[in-house]
Structure 1
Amino acid sequence: MTDLPESLFANPVWSALHTKHRHFALTAGDACRYPADVAPFAAVASPSADALLQLHSLLAPAESVWIVGESYPQPAKLAFEQTLLCLQMVLPAELVPPASTIEILPLSNDHAPEMVALTDLAFPGFFRSRTCEMGSYFGIRSNGQLIAMGGERLTLEGYPEISGICTHPDHRGKGYAESLIWHLVRNHRREGLVSWLHVSATNQRAIDLYRRMGFTEVRRVTLNLVSRED
């Protein structure tokens, strides 16, 4: 059975921005974040008022970011707007990915507008113009149109997160999401990496797919949408 170490995954954004994604990190003391055009995620070293004030300094007025954590103080000039419960799931190392049966194409910054438009149909606001720089992304096309995609988001040492899995509503039910996930998993296995993902606890359709493929739940984490009020 494959595990996701608590030391890395209890605060995965912090872990990523201090290791594999440190080149993205914007920091202020015990707070850090991704640039706004990369991802809407930030982190603090601990849930303290001082760390949240440092986070405040990294945000533009009225800007919102997501941070992981169960309980935070309520500092001035920051508003906690909503929470999102997510499952962290991992694919056990003993599972063997099936061979590919569909043409899957690499995506790059040149395809960013298409990728943002497609993901906005499913989870608007999470995928930004430079999100594709966080890892490798791949897509499936039909008559030249990007109809399905997926790639890597948070990257920790040895653990790339599978993310951005999305299929256009007109093309769902054809196994494209599963094909893209297996493509990423095959790439990870060749490099000795562990495939994992986040999924909203309310997204039962996606959870059912991941479980059917063999992903197992490791823990639940709470995302908090925090905005700068001044």
Structure 2
Amino acid sequence: MSLFHPLDRPVWSALTSRQAPLALGDARALRFDPAYALFAAAADASPESTAALAALNISANGMGLVEAGDMALPPGAVVRAQATCVQMVAGSLNAGGKAVAFEPLGEADAADMLALATLTVPGPFFEKTHRLGDFIGIKQDGRLVAMAGERMRLDGFTEVSGVCTHPDFRGRGYAGALMRVVTARILAQGEQAFLHVYAAHAATIALYETLGFRVRSPVTYTVLDGPG
């Protein structure tokens, strides 16, 4: 029986359940295929597991750990960045919200999605990140100006991620409106929605609270580089 809540270790939970086909590694340590995400996790804090985590390829983009508790770092890894985030969960949506015209995004939009995410940096976003879940977006004259979608998926939970708006189109409520749609779809499937946000971003946390998300737990986000 698991000794932790699945959301305490979302990366491990995702890679050992619904996103196992994207996992690289073994029973001691796993990571997402680097083309999809930089996230990785060891099975536990044992020397064997942390050594296995170190043996996984730390790609040019690095390796990301998301943990609610302390976790030993793999030997030889160098901490590029570390930040305290909060994990937020929604089991229902608050009433209200702005309705916007949106459309599904797919392979034909992959280059535009990567370009928008690279410009706005909503979080790590790579060549195949858009394949982690369903994404929707808003276009103006054929130009993608806002999007939101899904990232980590584990039993009973799906993460809302990739939420971003082009700087020229901010202040129009696009992010909140798209998040509401993505979250509603997750809830309609009988799951809970969750997300991660930097703890210092009080205004963003407040926005998510207006949608119905609540702070569940602090988590530590660590980005590692390989030795040398």
Match of 2:175 in 1: 177
Q: Do the aligned partners of residues 109 and 195 (structure 1) sit closer, same or farther apart at CA in structure 2, a change above 3 Å counting? A: same
Where 2:110 maps in the other structure, the secondary structure is: helix
Q: Do the aligned partners of residues 218 and 202 (structure 1) sit closer, same or farther apart at CA in structure 2, a change above 3 Å counting? A: same
Q: Which stretch shifts more, 75-84 or 167-176?
A: 75-84
Match of 1:122 in 2: 120
Match of 2:84 in 1: 85
Q: Do the aligned partners of residues 58 and 123 (structure 1) sit closer, same or farther apart at CA in structure 2, a change above 3 Å counting? A: same
Asked if 2 retains the 8 angstrom alpha-carbon contact of 1:63 and 1:228, the reply is: no
Where 2:21 maps in the other structure, the secondary structure is: coil
Match of 1:138 in 2: 136
Match of 2:190 in 1: 192
Where 1:120 maps in the other structure, the secondary structure is: helix
Where 1:80 maps in the other structure, the secondary structure is: strand
Q: Do the aligned partners of residues 50 and 63 (structure 1) sit closer, same or farther apart at CA in structure 2, a change above 3 Å counting? A: farther
The structural deviation recorded for 1:61 is 6.9
| Structure 1 residue corresponding to 2:64, chosen from 63, 66, 70 | 66
The residue type paired with residue 195 of structure 1 is A
Match of 1:30 in 2: 28
Question: Pairwise CA RMSD of aligned residues?
Answer: 2.2
Q: Which stretch shifts more, 119-128 or 206-215?
A: 119-128
Q: Do the aligned partners of residues 24 and 75 (structure 1) sit closer, same or farther apart at CA in structure 2, a change above 3 Å counting? A: closer
Where 2:101 maps in the other structure, the secondary structure is: coil
Alignment partners' CA distance in 2, 1:47 and 1:8? 16
Q: Deviations over 1:143-177 (max 9, x none)?
A: 11100000000011121110000000110010100
The structural deviation recorded for 1:65 is 0.5
Asked if 1 retains the 8 angstrom alpha-carbon contact of 2:58 and 2:225, the reply is: no
Asked if 2 retains the 8 angstrom alpha-carbon contact of 1:90 and 1:217, the reply is: yes
The structural deviation recorded for 1:190 is 2.2
- Give TM-score scaled by structure 1 length: 0.89
Q: Deviations over 1:62-101 (max 9, x none)?
A: 66201124444465432223212111111243x4554772
Could you tell me which runs of 5 or more consecutive residues in structure 2 were left unpaired when the two chains were aligned. none
Asked if 2 retains the 8 angstrom alpha-carbon contact of 1:139 and 1:146, the reply is: yes
* Residues 1:150 and 2:151 aligned together: no
Alignment partners' CA distance in 1, 2:185 and 2:72? 41
Q: For 1:12-23, list aligned pairs within 5 A.
A: 12-23=10-21
Alignment partners' CA distance in 2, 1:148 and 1:129? 18
Q: Which stretch shifts more, 177-186 or 50-59?
A: 50-59
Q: Do the aligned partners of residues 156 and 146 (structure 1) sit closer, same or farther apart at CA in structure 2, a change above 3 Å counting? A: same
The structural deviation recorded for 1:6 is 4.7
Match of 1:8 in 2: 6
Could you tell me which runs of 5 or more consecutive residues in structure 1 were left unpaired when the two chains were aligned. none
Alignment partners' CA distance in 2, 1:225 and 1:179? 30
Q: Do the aligned partners of residues 206 and 76 (structure 1) sit closer, same or farther apart at CA in structure 2, a change above 3 Å counting? A: same
Identity of aligned residues (%): 33
Instruction: Give the count of matched residue pairs.
Output: 225
- Give TM-score scaled by structure 2 length: 0.90
Match of 2:218 in 1: 220
Asked if 2 retains the 8 angstrom alpha-carbon contact of 1:26 and 1:35, the reply is: yes
Asked if 2 retains the 8 angstrom alpha-carbon contact of 1:97 and 1:185, the reply is: no
The residue type paired with residue 12 of structure 1 is P
Q: Which stretch shifts more, 202-211 or 126-135?
A: 202-211
Q: Which stretch shifts more, 66-75 or 11-20?
A: 66-75
